[in-house]
A and B are shown apart, each in its own frame.
Chain A
Amino acid sequence: MALKATKKELSLFTNNFSLTFFIFFIFLALLMMFMDSRYNYLKKIRKDFSFVTAPLIVLTNDSINFFNHFQRLSKSKALLEKEINQLNIKIDSLAIENQIRNFLVAENENLREATLLSKKLAPKKTYPAEIINPSIRGGTQIITVNKGRKDGIRQGMPVVNRLGLVGQIYTTYDQTSEVVSLLSKKFAVNALQDNGQNHAIIYGDAEFLVIPFFPTSIEISLGDTFVTSGLDNVYPSGIKIGEVVDVSPEDKQFNKIILKPATFSNQFSLITILDY
Chain B
Amino acid sequence: MLKKSYDVKVKQQKLFIGLFLFSIFVSFIDLFSFINSNFYPEYFIALMVLTISSNLISINITKVFLIGIIVDILIGSILGQYTIAFLLLYGLQVFSQKYFLMPSKAQTILLRFLSISFGIIIVTIISQNFNPIFHTNVSLLNYLIIEIIITFFILIIFQIFYERTYGA
Q: How far is the CA of A59 from the CA of B25 in the complex (A)?
A: 8
Q: What's the nearest-Cβ distance from chain A to residue B112, in Å? A: 19
Is the pair A184, B135 in contact by a Cβ cutoff of 8 Å?
yes
Give residues of chain B (67-105) contacting chain A, Cβ–Cβ below 8 Å: 68, 72-81, 83-84, 87-88, 90-91, 94, 98
How many A-B residue contacts, CB cutoff 8 Å?
139
Which residues of chain A have C-beta atoms less than 8 A from B75's C-beta?
Answer: 137-138
Which residues of chain B have C-beta atoms less than 8 A from A59's C-beta?
Answer: 25
Is the pair A42, B79 in contact by a Cβ cutoff of 8 Å?
yes
**Contact of B13 with A by CB under 8 A:** no
Which residues of chain B have C-beta atoms less than 8 A from A57's C-beta?
Answer: 28
Is the pair B29, A134 in contact by a Cβ cutoff of 8 Å?
yes
Contacts A12-B62, A30-B84 known; A42 to B28 CB distance under 8 Å?
Answer: no
Q: How far is the CA of A26 from the CA of B88 in the complex (A)?
A: 8
Is the pair A180, B28 in contact by a Cβ cutoff of 8 Å?
no
Which residues of chain B have C-beta atoms less than 8 A from A29's C-beta?
Answer: 65, 68, 80, 83-84, 87
Which residues of chain A have C-beta atoms less than 8 A from B33's C-beta?
Answer: 135
Which residue on chain B has the smallest CB distance to residue A32?
Answer: B80
Q: How far is the CA of A86 from the CA of B68 in the complex (A)?
A: 51
**Contact of B61 with A by CB under 8 A:** yes
Q: How far is the CA of A32 from the CA of B40 in the complex (A)?
A: 25
**Contact of B137 with A by CB under 8 A:** yes
Give residues of chain B (1-46) contacting chain A, Cβ–Cβ below 8 Å: 24-25, 27-30, 33, 38, 40, 42
User: Which 3 pairs show the lowest CB-CB distances between chains A and B?
Assistant: A138-B75, A206-B135, A33-B80
A selection of 11 A-B contacts at a CB cut-off of 8 Å is: A15-B58, A25-B61, A25-B62, A26-B84, A33-B78, A63-B29, A134-B28, A137-B75, A140-B135, A184-B132, A184-B135
